[in-house]
Amino acid sequence: MTQNTIGFIGVGNMGGPMALNLVAAGHRLVVHDVNTDALKPFGNKVQIARSPAEVANEAEIVMVSLPRPEIVHGVVFGEGGIAAGSKRKIFVDLSTTGPRMAKTISDELAKRGVVALDAPVSGGVSGAVKGTVAVMVSGPKAEADIVMPLLAAVGKVFYIGAEPGMGQTMKLINNLLSATAQAATAEALVMGTKFGLDAKIMIDVLNASSGRNTATEAKYPNEILPRRFKGGFALELMVKDVKLAIETAESMHVPMWVGQAVKQLWLYAEGHGGPQQDATELIKHIEAWSDVTVKGK
């Protein structure tokens, strides 16, 4: 198996930087994206394919980074999909699709002699650019051992387990906690601002205290207090991930009282701000309720 030729489908906000990091690590890439503008940063550094099937005709390892489970399924099994390719042997899903879809894809590809690995990533666009995302790999160990050294160019790689969907479940746990931290921090910062506290001082105190979390450490200093709101992760994607987490928990009869409340807040934000609004703009909807603006002085 040629380890240095990798197929990569989906080179948007997350996939693009990850693919460029693979190129920088010396790997030959065959790339496809329905958005031709997303291909421009690659110049002549990669081979461009016209379809997922064409990618899978060129590369034995095919990675995808796509926004929704149904899109991943269509790219794999639709007309001109990866499954129709002649060379593909290992499929690696870097997207967040949930364990149910991971198992479906794994089972269907196994019938075609292809091993599927789910390997969702976390760390945002900045992590994808820096090559510091967490990569959560699950699937057969032999194939994981082939792919994980390649993924080291993308970030820190963790082997979660042999069963399909284990990596996806780990990612949903992570994103549920991230969504909860951001929602709770928004409410807390709006409360403090309404009382007259300085937003930057609140963040500094929280980051030196037990209330510290990913939102206070990165999202507030970098995106929210400066009112930039360019985190690169859309509201609709956060809603999708939280829904998948709750659906997965409910399928195992695990209660999600806090998770349900978090989901409702994100759904409210999506309904009022639109699906493409940046996830860091969640706070705007709580500010509107409270008639305050949280910003650095």
* Active site (catalytic) residues: 171
Closest by Cα among 2, 4, 36 to 22:
4
The dihedral through the CA atoms of 13, 117, 239, 212 has a sign that is negative
**Enclosing H/E stretch for 149:** helix 141-151
Residues 118 and 139 sit within 8 Å (Cβ to Cβ):
yes
- HSE-CB for 43 with a 13 A CA cutoff: 3
Cα Rg of the chain, angstroms: 20
Q: Give yes or no for a contact between 110 and 79, defined as CB atoms under 8 angstroms apart.
A: no
125: left (phi over 0), alpha (psi -120 to 50) or beta: alpha
How crowded is residue 161: how many other Cβ atoms within 10 Å of its Cβ? 16
CA distances to 197, 270, 273 from 283, rounded to whole Å, are 16, 12, 11
d(CA 128, CA 279): 17
**Dihedral sign computed on CA atoms, order 61, 242, 160, 112:** negative
